[in-house]
Structure 1
Amino acid sequence: MPGTDTLLNALQWDRDVDPLVWQPHPTAFERLARAGVDVAVVNKRDFAASGLTRAAHRGGRYVGADTTAERVGATLEATMAAGGVVPSLTYLYEGDLDKTGHLHGVASSEWLQALAQVDEEAEQLREALPPATRLLVIADHGMVDSTGEGRLDLDEVPEAAALRDGLVLLGGEARFRQLWCRDGALDDVVATWRSVLGERAEVLTREDAAARGWFGEVAPSIGPRMGDVVVACRDDLVLLSSRDFAVETRLVGFHGSLTADEMLVPVLVG
């Protein structure tokens, strides 16, 4: 967070950070609601008042649902509530598939079983929804498994020790690290990371990444939230830290970089 030496975890949030101040722009749901669309968000009960929900999903009525049966029922009820009098949009988030992919990888039998569950859920919805209602199924990202030589722990592998030089903070995700540098250390940090990682990652300054359009239009107030340097991994490389992000060292599936496997996802319309 600008002006501090701490990171904001968007999933867990920080109680001192107001989501409406951190993300003040109208969400897609808010814009739709203002246009007269009846909007509902179906997600787990625990997420109802979370910082991420308030930042990204505000604008529709929130419906808590934890099990498959609850999610299907809540989505149908929310869709029917408008009664066809006004346009409606019901957004249903299914997070179990992503969690399973992180824990076991997308090549695992566990992930395939979770995918089959999502497929069954979508089939139940399509069969129960009115013919005039469209069902769109899409993912927010893909995933890459990393189980072997692609795993580089900055705190365990000797060749990676130099990557700590000149850093104040290590942030981002294992597939897309963001680096905050000490004053005057930027050029040395970029040179070291490029030397150590070579073709396994794209290492750019914040300004160069923004100029390439990696973040879309960047408002002046948003730039300082980003690392001074960003590192986009290629192939199955993941940049782990057993010291700072121990949980990530236990994962198999990752996402966050710019590869086709992570960025290109299909949309199914039924």
Structure 2
Amino acid sequence: MSLILPSESVAARSVVGVADDVFAALRGESASLPRAGSVVLAIIDGLGAISLRAHAGHARALTSGMAKKDVAHSVFPSTTAAALTSILTGVWPGQHGLVGYRVLDPARGILVNQLTGWESEGLDPATWQAAPTVFERARAEGRPTFAVGVAAYAASGFTRATLRGAEFVAAQTPAERVEVAYDLAERHPGSLIYCYLPEADKAGHRYGLDSVQWVSALEEIDAALSRRVPPGVGVLVTSDHGMVDVPVHRQVVLEAEHLDGVRHIGGEPRMLHVYVEPDADAAVVAERWRRDLEGLADVGTGQEAIASGFFGPEVTSAAASRIGDVLVVARGNGAVYDGTAADQRSRGMIGQHGGLTPEERQVPLLRFGAFAR
């Protein structure tokens, strides 16, 4: 079976449209959001709509007015590097080029980590991610822009690639970040404020979605966003992706024969980018993996995925050169590992994402303050 995108309603919203929604609301030109004097865009990393509804009792502020339609769809792959960049640029992964977690740098023939490897692996944030950010667009209109986040991320390469144009303001806890964001929005009319909340994602990866730690993180974020929104400020709350818990018995470790003709394996265990040797035939490799992983994963070539619109309606030459020759998407709550020592260390991660399940791709899209219905 080749890769097939899940069918979605033609009315389904995408996280790619969030940037345009925000700008239209600031101008009073949005068809979906009321006009707002300033906007706070709050991103709860790793919070899927299905998980949020399943834990509604621990997130009463977020779910109290949540309707069935208050969801959006993440991009493919459903991972932070791809999805958060799409939210903050308003374009698909095929345009901004961050097409996975670890991808091939074709100029050097090495895998690079698009979240944490910018400095160590020599990626230039200004050229590797060349799409204008929502903050650069806001600055061009003369609007104040701020990004409120964790201090450790202030000068990272990923921050410089995705938050260009925003003044970074560090705050320690979710409550402090939301408070700072709301204060900035109130003091700077016409401004765009980004507020990043990564606690649920971190807890989910380490402990799983039903853990005490994940529930505690959700409760802390919910309490932070329950505070009063200043008059005239519109708050849009969404996420880059959801996740699923991967039990040990659903972990698939590739055998040596699977790696025949394979040069690199990138991506992440829920969605692998497989790069074949120069003399290997990607279609042959894909067919072998498809046969061996039948029922466990869907397999297709990168060209098939591009032609089917997995990475968006337009794929630049730079983005295409980073996409695997073969793509492997784990089904259900499974994950596929390449068996190397480095890969084995990641097998302790419980909550994972990157695939095509509704749990990973459906995210909340919630409105507060001047945006509330």
Q: TM-score, normalised by structure 2?
A: 0.66
Q: CA deviation at 1:46?
A: 1.4
| 1:152 equivalent in alignment to 2:252 | yes
The Cα RMSD (Å) is 1.6
| 1:89 equivalent in alignment to 2:192 | yes
C-alpha distance in structure 2 between counterparts of 1:165 and 1:48, whole Å:
42
CA contact (8 A) 1:168 1:182 kept: yes
Q: CA deviation at 1:242?
A: 4.7
Letter in 1 for 2:355: S
Letter in 2 for 1:104: Y
Correspondence list, 1:241-256, <5 A:
241-256=339-354
| 1:143 equivalent in alignment to 2:243 | yes
Q: 1:175 aligns with which of 265, 270, 275?
A: 270
C-alpha distance in structure 2 between counterparts of 1:187 and 1:213, whole Å:
19
The answer for the alignment partner of 2:232 in structure 1 is 132
| 1:52 equivalent in alignment to 2:148 | no
Q: 2:130 aligns with which of 8, 16, 24?
A: 24
Letter in 1 for 2:143: V
The answer for the alignment partner of 2:93 in structure 1 is none
Q: 2:331 aligns with which of 205, 209, 234?
A: 234
Higher mean C-alpha displacement, 183-192 vs 137-146 = 183-192
CA contact (8 A) 1:106 1:112 kept: yes
Q: Deviations over 1:206-227 (max 9, x none)?
A: 1100011111111112211111
Q: Percent identity?
A: 36
3-state secondary structure, aligned to 2:197: coil
CA contact (8 A) 2:118 2:158 kept: no
Q: 2:118 aligns with which of 11, 14, 27?
A: 14
C-alpha distance in structure 2 between counterparts of 1:244 and 1:170, whole Å:
12
C-alpha distance in structure 1 between counterparts of 2:279 and 2:117, whole Å:
30
C-alpha distance in structure 1 between counterparts of 2:174 and 2:301, whole Å:
44
User: Would the alpha carbon gap of residues 17 and 148 (structure 1) be closer, same or farther in structure 2, given more than 3 Å must change?
Assistant: closer
| 1:200 equivalent in alignment to 2:271 | no
C-alpha distance in structure 1 between counterparts of 2:305 and 2:160, whole Å:
28
User: Would the alpha carbon gap of residues 18 and 251 (structure 1) be closer, same or farther in structure 2, given more than 3 Å must change?
Assistant: same
C-alpha distance in structure 2 between counterparts of 1:68 and 1:258, whole Å:
29
C-alpha distance in structure 2 between counterparts of 1:215 and 1:251, whole Å:
26
CA contact (8 A) 1:5 1:169 kept: no
3-state secondary structure, aligned to 1:231: strand
Q: Which runs of 4+ in 1 moved over 3 A?
A: none
C-alpha distance in structure 2 between counterparts of 1:204 and 1:88, whole Å:
44
C-alpha distance in structure 2 between counterparts of 1:4 and 1:243, whole Å:
23
CA contact (8 A) 2:175 2:225 kept: no
3-state secondary structure, aligned to 1:135: strand
The answer for the alignment partner of 1:259 in structure 2 is 357
3-state secondary structure, aligned to 1:14: coil
3-state secondary structure, aligned to 2:285: helix
Q: 2:225 aligns with which of 118, 122, 128?
A: 122
Q: Deviations over 1:144-190 (max 9, x none)?
A: 11113211123xxxxx3322111110100110000110123223311
CA contact (8 A) 2:182 2:230 kept: no
User: Would the alpha carbon gap of residues 246 and 81 (structure 1) be closer, same or farther in structure 2, given more than 3 Å must change?
Assistant: farther
Which of the pair has the greater relative contact order for Cα pairs under 8 Å at 6+ separation? 2
Higher mean C-alpha displacement, 241-250 vs 2-11 = 241-250
Q: Deviations over 1:93-143 (max 9, x none)?
A: 11111010001111222211111111001112xx1x213212222111010
User: Would the alpha carbon gap of residues 51 and 120 (structure 1) be closer, same or farther in structure 2, given more than 3 Å must change?
Assistant: same
Q: CA deviation at 1:88?
A: 1.5
Q: CA deviation at 1:2?
A: 0.7
The answer for the alignment partner of 1:73 in structure 2 is 179
3-state secondary structure, aligned to 2:147: strand
Higher mean C-alpha displacement, 72-81 vs 4-13 = 72-81
Number of residue pairs matched by the alignment: 259
Q: TM-score, normalised by structure 1?
A: 0.91
Q: CA deviation at 1:37?
A: 2.6
The answer for the alignment partner of 1:184 in structure 2 is 279
Q: CA deviation at 1:191?
A: 1.6
C-alpha distance in structure 1 between counterparts of 2:206 and 2:324, whole Å:
27
| 1:165 equivalent in alignment to 2:260 | yes
The answer for the alignment partner of 1:111 in structure 2 is 214
